Structure 1
Amino acid sequence: MYIHIGEDHMVRVKEIIAIIDKSSALDSRFAESGKAINLSKGPFKSVVVTEKDIYLSPLASTTLKKRSARMGIQDF
């Protein structure tokens, strides 16, 4: 299964390692690493960490959690 993480981008659920809210991400080095793929046209709201990439998503981490719960996916 796939989950929409913003800007017409889908990620395979099995590849997701973590979904982190913006305030927690600012305390880490995800946003500053320069390796993150920014899917947000404005400020990002969450960080989605997968096996291959790190995405800055315009969607809130709570929204992504609700989408995963609707699909019957386990809690992140």
Structure 2
Amino acid sequence: MNKLNRFEVAARLGITTRTLRRLNNVGKLVPKRDASNRPFYTKNQIDEFLKNTYKPKYKIIWISSTLDETKVKKIKPELSN
């Protein structure tokens, strides 16, 4: 079992640790605890979360070479599977 701390999980999901804490508070992604009561997440937890519950609102479809403009397209609910 691979143990991931909150910083690693936040980086994998592309969210902040504060958002990760909010997900924990609403019960969507609750960490497990080790023997010294420190929270950790498993790779399986993250995979299940991504597969079942996490739906991004935006998808970057193009980034210019100079990074001046970023076109962001909202994903329509019927297209996000």
Structure with more relative contact order (C-alpha pairs < 8 Å, separation 6 or more)? 1
Shorter-chain TM band: under 0.3
For the pair shown, the structure with the greater C-alpha radius of gyration is 2
* TM-score of the aligned structures, taking structure 1 as reference length: 0.28
